[in-house]
């Protein structure tokens, strides 16, 4: 039994304990807090598994952003009215438990059968074409070139999340009182975060990182600033706000159309999202940049957007 084994075991147990604690927590605030911790530990777990991308993403999104979202949700809640737990809902929770257990059981059972070394057809293929993709990192290549269409659609998903949130008018955000220390702290933190964000973005071309993580960091910075009233309210009716939010998708579409036009040959099929080799890297960078900004702003709006700002 190596130290690694014990570390992994303890990690797994801690994860399970935290998950259980999140569910069983009496107070919402505590649950949220434990959830944030859970996200952080999970990031460590991903890192242990060798998935640096996922670890980064988990840290940024699972711990940071989700935590912020949940906290803002908490803040928006009026006096916590605990709904009486009805009998039927307890019955249904038993059902849910049963369902989860069953699912887990089946999952374990089938994982047993998963070949440890899956016959990967795509990995060699991807690596083979990596040189033509305009980026060195396979993940980025997949995201922004091989399966760029998925990414484009995911960006739209994010956009949609924002639009959905805009439509549900929620109570006022209860921002805390101006707190000198916090505002000082945020003044220092925000530039740092922005810097890190752009670093992560840049790194994406060669190593784990990319637009989603960068955007999340950017958003974190914006949220912090906004919560400390160091940023003016972001109104949906401002053209630039909308433009930035849309910029990710727009950049994709424009890039796609532009490259299609550049490669246009009347007799042939137009290949959608096929970057010309010489333009691939700048295009990907352009798209990533726009996407980062869009993601950042979108997430910010999701977290701190005020009702009157959001709804038209």
Partner 1 sequence: MLSNVVEWLWPGASFGLANQLAQLWFGFTLLLWLAAACYSVTFIKRQVGFYWLFFIVAMSGNLLLIVAQDVLGFYLGFALMSLSAYALVIHSGSSQARRAGRLYLQLAIVGELLLFAAIVLRVHESDGNLALAELTMDSIQPLTLLLLLLGFGLKAGFFPLHVWLPQAHPAAPAPASAVLSGAMIKAGLFGLWVFVPASAVVVQQWAVVLLVLGLCSALFGAVIALWHQQSKVVLAYSSVSQMGYMLMALAIVWLSTGDARVMAATVLVGYACHHAFLKAALFLGAGACSSYRLQRFHWLAIGWCLFTLVALPLSSGAAVKYGLKQGLMAQQSSPVWLAEWLYGLLSVGALTTALLALHLWCLLRQQQMATHSQSMPAVSGWMNSGWLILVVASISMPFAVISTQPFWWASISLSAVWASSWPVLAAVLLFLIVRQIGWILPERWRDPQSRFVWLSLRAKRLYQTQSRAEWQVRWPGWRSLERQINQGLQRAELLSTAAVVLSSVMLILWLLH
Partner 2 sequence: MNYALAAVLLPLLAALLALGWRRYAAWVSWGGTILSLLCAIVALQQVLSDGPQQMLLGNWPTGLAIRWQLSELTALLLLLTTVIHSLVASYSLTSLRRLQVAADFWPLSSLLQMSLSALWLSTDLFNWYVTLELLGLVAVAMVTLSGNKSVAAALRYLLLSLAGSLCYLLGVALLYGQFGVLDVAELATRMPASESHMTTFALVLMTAGLMLKGALWPLHLWLPAAHAVAPAPVSALLSALVVKGPLFILWMLWSQLATVELSHAAAGFFLFAGSMALLTGGWSALRTPYAKVMVAYSTVAQLGYALLAIGLALRSADPAFQLALWLFIIAHALAKTSAFLAVGEMQHSLGGKRVQMLKGASQTMPVAMFALAVAGGSLIGLPPSGGFLAKWQLLLPLWPEWQLWLWLLVIFLGTLLSAAYVFRLVVLAFDRADPVKPDFAPQLLPQWLALVPALLVWGLAFGSHSFVHWLGG
Candidate list 6, 7, 94, 149; residue touching partner 2; CB under 8 A: 149
With CB under 8 A as the contact rule, the residue among 13, 30, 123, 277 that binds partner 2 is 123
Integer Cα distance of 307 and 299 in angstroms: 15
Among residues 96, 192, 243, 257, the one that binds partner 1 under rule CB under 8 A: 96
CA dihedral (280, 282, 288, 290) in degrees, to 10, reads -130
Rounded Cα distance, 55 and 43, in Å:
4
Q: Closest Cα partner for 286 from 157, 126, 148? A: 148
CB-hemisphere CA count at 13 Å for 301?
31
Residue 96 interacts with which of partner 1, partner 2, none, CB < 5 to 8 Å by class: partner 1
Q: How far is CA 28 from the centre of its chain?
A: 23
Q: Of 75-104, which residues contact partner 2 (CB under 8 A)?
A: none
Find out whether 74 and 29 touch, Cβ atoms under 8 Å: yes
Q: In the numeric block, which tokens belong to residue 171? A: 């109570």
**For the stretch 75-108, what's the b/e string if a residue is b when 16 or more beta carbons lie within 10 angstroms of its beta carbon?**
eeeeeeeeeeeeeeeeeeeeeeeeeeeeeeeeee
Binder of residue 120, out of partner 1, partner 2, none (CB less than 5 to 8 A by kind): partner 2
The DSSP output letter for 133 is T
Is residue 114 within the footprint of partner 1 (CB under 8 A)? no
Interaction partner, residue 122 (partner 1, partner 2, none; CB < 5-8 Å by kind): partner 2
Binds 137: which of partner 1, partner 2, none (CB < 5-8 Å by kind): none
Pick the stretch among 13-21, 183-191, 213-221, 241-249 that binds partner 2 (CB under 8 A): 241-249
Q: For partner 1, which is the closer residue by CB, 96 or 243? A: 96
Told to check if 122 binds partner 2 by CB under 8 A, we report yes
Q: Name residues whose C-beta falls within 8 Å of residue 122's C-beta, 6 or more positions apart in sequence.
A: none
* Residue 185 is a binding residue for partner 2 (CB under 8 A): no
The first and second tokens of residue 102, run together, are 């069953």
Binding of residue 23 to partner 1 (CB under 8 A)? no
Give dist(CA 91, CA 61) in Å, integer: 33
Comparing CB distances to partner 1, the nearer of 105 and 282 is: 105
CB of 91 to partner 1, least distance (A): 6
Q: Which stretch binds partner 1 (CB under 8 A): 90-98, 131-139, 142-150, 173-181?
A: 90-98
Residues binding partner 2 (CB under 8 A): 106-107, 109-110, 113-115, 118-123, 125-126, 129, 145-150, 153-154, 156-157, 160-161, 163-164, 166-169, 239, 242-243, 245-246, 249-250, 253, 257, 269-275, 311-312
């Amino acid at each position: 039994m190596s130290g690694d084994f014990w570390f992994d075991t303890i990690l797994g147990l801690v994860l399970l304990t935290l998950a259980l604690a999140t569910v069983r927590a009496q107070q919402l605030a505590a649950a949220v807090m434990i959830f944030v911790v859970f996200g952080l530990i999970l990031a460590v777990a991903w890192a242990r598994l060798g998935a640096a991308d996922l670890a980064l993403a988990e840290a940024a999104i699972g711990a940071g952003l989700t935590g912020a979202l949940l906290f803002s949700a908490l803040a928006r809640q009026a006096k916590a009215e605990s709904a009486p737990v009805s009998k039927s809902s307890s019955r249904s929770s038993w059902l849910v438990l049963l369902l989860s257990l069953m699912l887990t059981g089946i999952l374990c059972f089938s994982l047993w059968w998963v070949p440890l070394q899956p016959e990967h057809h795509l990995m060699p293929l991807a690596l083979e074409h990596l040189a033509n993709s305009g980026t060195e990192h396979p993940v980025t290549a997949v995201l922004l070139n091989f399966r760029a269409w998925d990414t484009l659609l995911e960006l739209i998903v994010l956009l949609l999340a924002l639009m959905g949130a805009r439509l549900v008018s929620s109570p006022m955000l209860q921002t805390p009182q101006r707190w000198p220390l916090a505002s000082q702290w945020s003044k220092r933190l925000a530039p740092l975060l922005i810097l890190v964000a752009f670093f992560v973005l840049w790194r994406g071309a060669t190593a784990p990182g990319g637009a989603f993580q960068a955007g999340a960091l950017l958003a974190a910075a914006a949220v912090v600033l906004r919560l400390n009233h160091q940023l003016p309210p972001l109104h949906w009716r401002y053209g630039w706000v909308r433009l930035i939010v849309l910029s990710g998708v727009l950049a994709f579409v424009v890039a796609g159309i532009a490259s299609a036009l550049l490669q246009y040959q009347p007799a042939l099929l137009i290949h959608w999202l096929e970057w010309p080799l010489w333009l691939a890297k700048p295009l990907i960078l352009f798209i990533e940049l726009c996407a980062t900004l869009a993601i950042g702003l979108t997430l910010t709006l999701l977290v701190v957007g005020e009702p009157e700002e959001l709804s038209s």
